């Protein structure tokens, strides 16, 4: 299976949300990272067939999305960023409603609902009204509805927002398990979520791909750009104004800082092992502040 | 089918619908009870009054009619000059004289018209006949054919008689005024979120991304809207009949002629029984409510919040009433205003026909045609609108 985005462009009035975005997706998890307004949600909505692009094409296995129409949407599972629920519906009724929207037969849907409720840890509150759900429960219900039609393309916009660490880990493992033979697009602000399971990371900024590659590639690209230094507490304010700090930790009266910089930023700074978060901050803070993209 | 049932549940079992329906029920039941209290206050023992009235039911007796008119004149003078003396008059007798005099005047107006009748726009049998005699040489014109048809229908309707219409008068007056407005507002309120509410509740993205979210969901939503309008109209009329007639022991007078009701004494459909009129007005109300619901649904499909939808629907409902002064120019808007059509009475109470290739086509027939065509257009537009829809960008 191959999902091709060919020069996707989306314009809102005078604002260009996506600049000729092109990418080829094959089965596996893709982590979409970027600051607010980078175009992540717009991109996901275009792929989910919720938003018509101003230009460009979305092709599945060589066929245009618009040509496939219902056939395309049939294999898409989408969890919007801010999914609303009907307060008067129970969780079960909501899932049955979405199943009907997805064209599932009632009996098949009923089995699927039970199954997904168990996977998303919602079995006990399936007959509670959605209006009484906590933020985390709503998110889990959102994940369950996205999986109802056993989608080949799963689009998850901020899926772990509002989930506690246990639920996040559970969810991450679930995505990892099901990603073997499907394309999973995961947009998140929680870099570690993508770090752990994504086969490919796409850094998106101002509607363009800023950087992309495997986690290892991106970390390798940061070699020599991440530093560690131990400073007196008094220097911290001045340093944090001048440099991009990715971490500050108290160490026996001093502070140990982690710095993203093209060259050695301070005397006594030593190279540190890069992580994905460093890469994110390098592009969206370090380079952005210097106007380099 | 599943989607339709879910959409119907969303429409019917929600707070807005429940509160709206409860208010509606309260208003109708209050209206019915108030009517019963007033009538019983006027005539005392209602059963005895009906028994007295039934003795005189049927075609108008001219002698009795003249006596009743004279009595009413006397009673009015007494009421003005000596209220205390008027107060001791038997209320049943007074009411009976008033209603008989009224029926007599209706028969006179039907047959001979009044001084205010315009000879070029007649409504009475005599006036219509005179018009045809005056324009005998123009029998091939629309105006002549129109009056000819008017006369034929009125003659077929027959002279209004005297029947007990006290409860029907009140019920039809309520249905023609407050009732129509209640129905229309309830539809605007309940149907306005049918599409726009999905954007407000952030469900639109999910719906549009689903397999059936661009075509079958529209069918399901429109069908549920039509079903809701149907349930509402049937329920509303049933509740109104119950509220107005139960205090008097049950539904009566269904076989009486329509023109025994004062508002319909000049109706070309005056020969219909009240049951026939009731069925026709329920049918018309259903058609108009369905169209109004479709207008609201279409507006809802173009908006991202139910509030502007309610505003637009209310403007569509009340707007034509403000344009009555411009009827000569804006007659399509005034003649086919939803509220006017829902009132029922303006459609059936008087003769009105449109010139279609020189032939008079009756107002109710044109109404049904126009409203049906409008419904079809709105359905197609809603499909087209939703198919091209982009979800609102929440982030």
Supply the pLDDT for residue A93.
Answer: 95
User: Chain B neighbours among A 10-29 (CB < 8 Å)?
Assistant: 12
Task: Please report, rounded to a whole number, the percentage of residues in chain B having pLDDT higher than 70.
Answer: 98
- Which pLDDT score, from 0 to 100, does residue B395 have? 36
Closest to B146 (Cα-Cα) out of B368, B373, B350: B350
Q: Say which of A70, A80, A88 has its CB closest to residue B211.
A: A70
pTM for the whole structure: 0.85
Considering chain A, what is the average pLDDT of its residues?
90
Banded pLDDT at B392 (limits 50, 70, 90) = low
Per-residue pLDDT band at B295 (split at 50, 70, 90): very high
**Tell me, what's the pLDDT at A292?**
66
Residue B12 has pLDDT above 60, yes or no: yes
Measured distance CA(B258)–CA(B240) in Å, rounded: 18
Residue of A nearest to B12 (CA): A88
Q: Mind listing the pLDDT tens digit for each residue in B25-69? A: 999 999 899 988 888 888 878 888 888 888 889 999 999 999 999
- The DSSP symbol for B61 reads P
- B214 contacts in chain A (CB < 8 Å): 73
Taking the C-alpha atoms of residue B66 and residue A71, their distance in angstroms, rounded to an integer, is 80
Mutate to test the interface with B, among A101, A142, A150, A154 (most CBs of B within 10 A): A101
Q: Any bridge partners for residue A68, and if so which?
A: none
Nearest CA in chain B to A106: B2
Alpha-carbon distance of A42 to A248, in angstroms, equals: 34
Instruction: Compute the average pLDDT of residues B296-320.
Output: 92
Strand order in the sheet with A244-251: A244-251, A254-260, A226-232, A270-271
- Residue A86 has its nearest CB partner, among B2, B201, B216, at B201
Cβ separation B201–A80 shorter than 8 A: no
Report yes or no for ipTM above 0.95.
no
A106 and B210: CB-CB below 8 Å? no
Give the pairing type, strands A254-260 and A28-33.
unpaired
> What pLDDT does B373 receive?
96
C-alpha–C-alpha distance, residues A211 and A203, integer Å: 5
**pLDDT at residue B389 tops 90:** no
**Least CB–CB distance from B390: residue in A51, A97, A100:** A51
First to last CA, chain A: 33
Within its chain, how far is the Cα of B23 from the centroid?
20
Which pLDDT score is estimated for B391?
Answer: 58
Spatial distance between the Cα atoms of A43 and A120, rounded to a whole number of angstroms: 26
Q: Which residues in chain A land under pLDDT 70?
A: 292-293
pLDDT band, very low/low/confident/very high, at B194 (cuts 50, 70, 90): very high
What are the DSSP calls for B178-238, one per residue? IIHHHHHHHHHHHHTHHHHHHHHTT-HHHHHHSTTTTTHHHHHHHHHHHHHHHHHHHHHHH
Nearest residue of B to residue A69 by CA position? B211
Lowest mean pLDDT segment, chosen from A53-57, B234-238, B325-329: B325-329
**Which residue, among B17, B203, B210, B306, would best test binding to A if mutated, counting the most A CBs under 10 Å from its CB?**
B210
The pair of three-digit structure tokens given for residue B229, joined into one six-digit string? 């309008």
Give the pLDDT of residue B394.
Answer: 42
DSSP A111-145: HHHHHHHHHTT-GGGTTSBGGG--HHHHHHHHHHH
Task: Name the interface residues of B facing A (CB cutoff 8 Å).
Answer: 2-3, 6, 10, 13-15, 200-217, 388, 390-391, 393-395
B110 pLDDT above the threshold of 90: yes
Q: Which whole-number Å values give the CA distances from B71 to A90, B81, B375, in the listed order?
A: 68, 15, 53
pLDDT tens, residue by residue, B240-258: 999 999 988 888 889 999 9
Rounded distance, CA B206 to CA B150, Å? 57
Residues A174-208 have pLDDT tens digits of 888 888 889 999 998 888 888 888 999 999 998 99
Residues of chain A numbered 143-182 and touching chain B (CB < 8 Å): 145, 149, 155
Q: With H, G, I as helix, E, B as strand and everything else as coil, classify residue A15.
A: strand
Residues of B in contact with A85 (CB under 8 A): 201, 203
């Amino acid at each position: 299976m191959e999902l091709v985005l060919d020069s996707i462009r989306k314009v809102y009035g005078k604002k260009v949300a996506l600049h000729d975005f092109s990418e080829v997706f094959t089965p596996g998890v893709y982590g979409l990272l970027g600051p607010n307004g980078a175009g992540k949600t717009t991109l996901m909505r275009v792929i989910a067939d919720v938003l018509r692009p101003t230009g460009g094409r979305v092709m599945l296995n060589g066929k245009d999305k618009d040509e496939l129409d219902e056939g395309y949407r049939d294999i898409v599972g989408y969890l919007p960023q801010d999914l609303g629920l009907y307060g008067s519906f129970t969780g079960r009724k909501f899932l049955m409603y979405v199943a009907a929207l997805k064209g599932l037969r009632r009996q098949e849907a009923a089995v699927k609902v039970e199954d997904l409720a168990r996977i998303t840890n919602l079995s006990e509150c399936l007959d509670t009204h959605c209006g009484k759900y906590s933020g985390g429960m709503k998110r889990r219900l959102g994940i369950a509805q996205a999986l109802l039609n056993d989608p080949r393309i799963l689009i998850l916009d901020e899926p772990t927002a509002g989930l506690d660490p246990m639920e996040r880990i559970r969810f991450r493992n679930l995505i990892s398990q099901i990603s073997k033979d499907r394309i999973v697009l995961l947009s998140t602000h929680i870099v570690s979520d993508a770090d752990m399971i994504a086969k490919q990371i796409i850094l998106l900024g101002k509607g363009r791909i800023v950087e992309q590659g495997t986690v290892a590639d991106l970390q390798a690209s940061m070699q020599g750009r991440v530093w560690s230094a131990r400073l007196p507490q008094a220097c911290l304010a001045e340093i944090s104004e001048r440099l991009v700090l990715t971490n500050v930790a108290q160490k026996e009266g001093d502070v140990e800082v982690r710095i993203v910089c093209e060259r050695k930023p301070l005397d006594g700074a030593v190279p540190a092992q890069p992580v994905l978060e460093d890469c994110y901050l390098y592009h969206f803070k370090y380079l952005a502040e210097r106007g380099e993209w | 089918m599943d989607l339709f049932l879910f959409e119907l549940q969303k429409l019917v079992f929600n707070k807005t619908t429940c509160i709206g329906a409860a208010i509606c029920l309260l208003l109708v039941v209050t209206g019915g009870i108030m009517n019963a209290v007033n009538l019983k206050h006027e005539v005392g023992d209602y059963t005895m009054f009906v028994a007295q009235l039934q003795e005189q039911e049927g075609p108008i007796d001219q002698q009795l009619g003249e006596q009743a008119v004279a009595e009413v004149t006397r009673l009015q003078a007494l009421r003005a000059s000596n209220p205390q003396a008027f107060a001791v008059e038997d209320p049943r007798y007074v009411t009976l004289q008033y209603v008989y005099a009224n029926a007599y005047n209706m028969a006179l107006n039907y047959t001979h018209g009044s001084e205010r009748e315009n000879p070029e726009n007649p409504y009475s049998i005599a006036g219509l006949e005179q018009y045809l005699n005056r324009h005998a040489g123009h029998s091939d014109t629309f105006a002549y054919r129109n009056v000819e048809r008017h006369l034929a229908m009125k003659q077929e309707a027959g002279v209004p008689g005297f029947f007990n219409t006290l409860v029907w008068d009140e019920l039809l007056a309520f249905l023609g005024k407050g009732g129509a407005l209640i129905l229309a507002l309830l539809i605007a309120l309940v149907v306005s979120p049918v599409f726009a509410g999905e954007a407000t509740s952030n469900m639109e993205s999910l719906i549009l991304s689903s397999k059936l979210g661009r075509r079958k969901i529209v069918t399901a939503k429109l069908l549920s809207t039509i079903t809701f309008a149907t349930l509402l109209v049937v329920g509303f009329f049933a509740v109104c009949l119950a509220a107005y007639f139960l205090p008097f022991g049950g539904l009566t007078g269904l076989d009486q002629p329509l023109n025994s009701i004062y508002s319909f004494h000049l109706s070309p459909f005056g020969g219909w029984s009240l049951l026939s009129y009731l069925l026709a007005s329920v049918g018309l109300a259903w058609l108009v409510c369905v169209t109004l619901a479709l207008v609201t649904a279409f507006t809802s499909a173009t908006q991202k919040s139910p509030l502007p939808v309610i505003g637009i629907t209310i403007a569509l409902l009340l707007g034509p009433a403000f344009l009555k002064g411009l009827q000569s120019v804006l007659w399509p808007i005034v003649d086919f205003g939803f509220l006017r059509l829902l009132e029922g009475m303006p459609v059936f109470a008087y003769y009105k026909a449109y010139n279609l290739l020189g032939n008079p086509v009756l107002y109710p027939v044109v109404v049904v045609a126009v409203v049906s065509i409008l419904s079809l257009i709105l359905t197609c537009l809603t499909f087209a609108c939703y198919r091209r829809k982009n979800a609102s960008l929440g982030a």
